[in-house]
Amino acid sequence: MHGLRTFVACLVLSCTAVMSPAGAGTVAAAAPPRWSALPVPAAAPAVYVADLAARGPREAWATGSESGPDGPRPVLHRWDGATWSRDATFPGAGQPGRLGKVQFVGDETWVFHHRDGAGEILRRSADGWTVVPLPQTLWYYQDFTAVPGAAWVVGEDDSGLKVLHYDGSRWTAQRAPDGVLSLRGITARSATDAWAWADTAAGAAVLRWDGTTWRDAQVPLPPDSNVYTVLPEPSGRVTIGGSQYADGVNRTYLTTGNGRTWRTTYPPLDNASAEDMVRGPDGALWLPVRSDRAFQSRYARVDGSRTGFSYGPRRTHAIEVQPRALASAGSTLLSFGTVEIYGSKPNLMSERLGG
């Protein structure tokens, strides 16, 4: 009898261990990573954060602008894996202008630079910074992307929509499909696989460059929707984030394609802008969302049908913490944005998940 009792007790214990989602040893090992604050050299308010991109755990760049006596001035910060430092060695540093999107092209780092009303590309290699001038000045520069062998700048001039393409030696103007009124953004997986999101007379549309022509990618977007970002990945998966207006409210949607079919979901993101959505090191989609708490930022994690939220570190007297851009940096997730400490103007902040 005693032996039977002991056997049953052991069976119960072993069943408990097996059915538990994580064994006791695993729980300690799988303690969820936390957000921590990373010091950032202050800039002159008012500050604006444009982009954050990471090549790996020991190299990331954050761009934007600060206030100067004659308008905005460009701001560039570099992450070396341990600290953020300010880079003022690029052409145009200290002069009026602002920095935009950061792209990694092979071993080089390319940054879009608005300078004196014109656009140019700052190109950083092992030899230092050089400038890639644009073939013409546009009224405004909507977006920029670059991959080995190709770069695009989209915007408008007095003749309308412009798609400027750089093949590494010369610029050409590309033709968008008929009916495209404007391009909202552009991104590329390779020189022969680029994606753009557009406004057409029929609504939002996603375009694709196949190395020869821009075509409507025929993505079945939700009706009455906007596209905020397109996230093509090396695996072939493409995730489109946007907002749909229905029944008087906007709601965030994600449309995901696997190369054969497209599927749309509506994660409970409270109409958060999917513009800054990235694929995190854990394989889930991450995006900053409006925090419901002062003193802390808030992030959403979308993993298939599951959506979870996490808060950044508590910051004393910070009445607003606004992450503006995210980037995967090795096994960590970097965030760059602004923080407003009560009584002072917003300034730069950075946070890291894991690491």
Site residues for other proteins per CB under 8 A: 290-295, 317, 319-320, 340, 342-345
d(CA 224, CA 331): 37
Shortest Å, Cβ 343 to other proteins: 4
Nearer to other proteins by Cβ, of 248 and 343: the residue is 343
Nearer to other proteins by Cβ, of 206 and 321: the residue is 321
Shortest Å, Cβ 66 to other proteins: 17
Shortest Å, Cβ 244 to other proteins: 22
Handedness of CA 131, 160, 192, 103 (dihedral sign): positive
Nearer to other proteins by Cβ, of 163 and 318: the residue is 318
d(CA 23, CA 339): 39
Shortest Å, Cβ 67 to other proteins: 14
d(CA 67, CA 62): 16
**How is residue 22 written in tokens?**
């994580």
Shortest Å, Cβ 298 to other proteins: 9
For the purposes of burial, counting CB atoms within 10 Å of the CB of 133, is it exposed (0-12), middle (13-18) or buried (19 or more)?
exposed
d(CA 148, CA 130): 17
d(CA 217, CA 196): 9
**How is residue 150 written in tokens?**
């190709």
Distance, C-alpha 66 to centroid of its chain: 20
Residue 143 has a CB neighbour count (10 Å cut-off) of 18
Q: How far apart are the first and last CA of the chain?
A: 53
Nearer to other proteins by Cβ, of 184 and 315: the residue is 315
Shortest Å, Cβ 161 to other proteins: 35
Residue 178 has a CB neighbour count (10 Å cut-off) of 7
CB contact at 8 A, 131 and 166: no
Nearer to other proteins by Cβ, of 79 and 299: the residue is 299
Shortest Å, Cβ 317 to other proteins: 5
CB contact at 8 A, 101 and 90: no
Nearer to other proteins by Cβ, of 303 and 320: the residue is 320
CB contact at 8 A, 205 and 213: no
CB contact at 8 A, 73 and 46: no
Residue 347 has a CB neighbour count (10 Å cut-off) of 18
Nearer to other proteins by Cβ, of 197 and 299: the residue is 299
Shortest Å, Cβ 131 to other proteins: 37
Nearer to other proteins by Cβ, of 222 and 337: the residue is 337
Shortest Å, Cβ 41 to other proteins: 21
* DSSP state letter for 354: -
CB contact at 8 A, 130 and 149: no
Nearer to other proteins by Cβ, of 79 and 295: the residue is 295
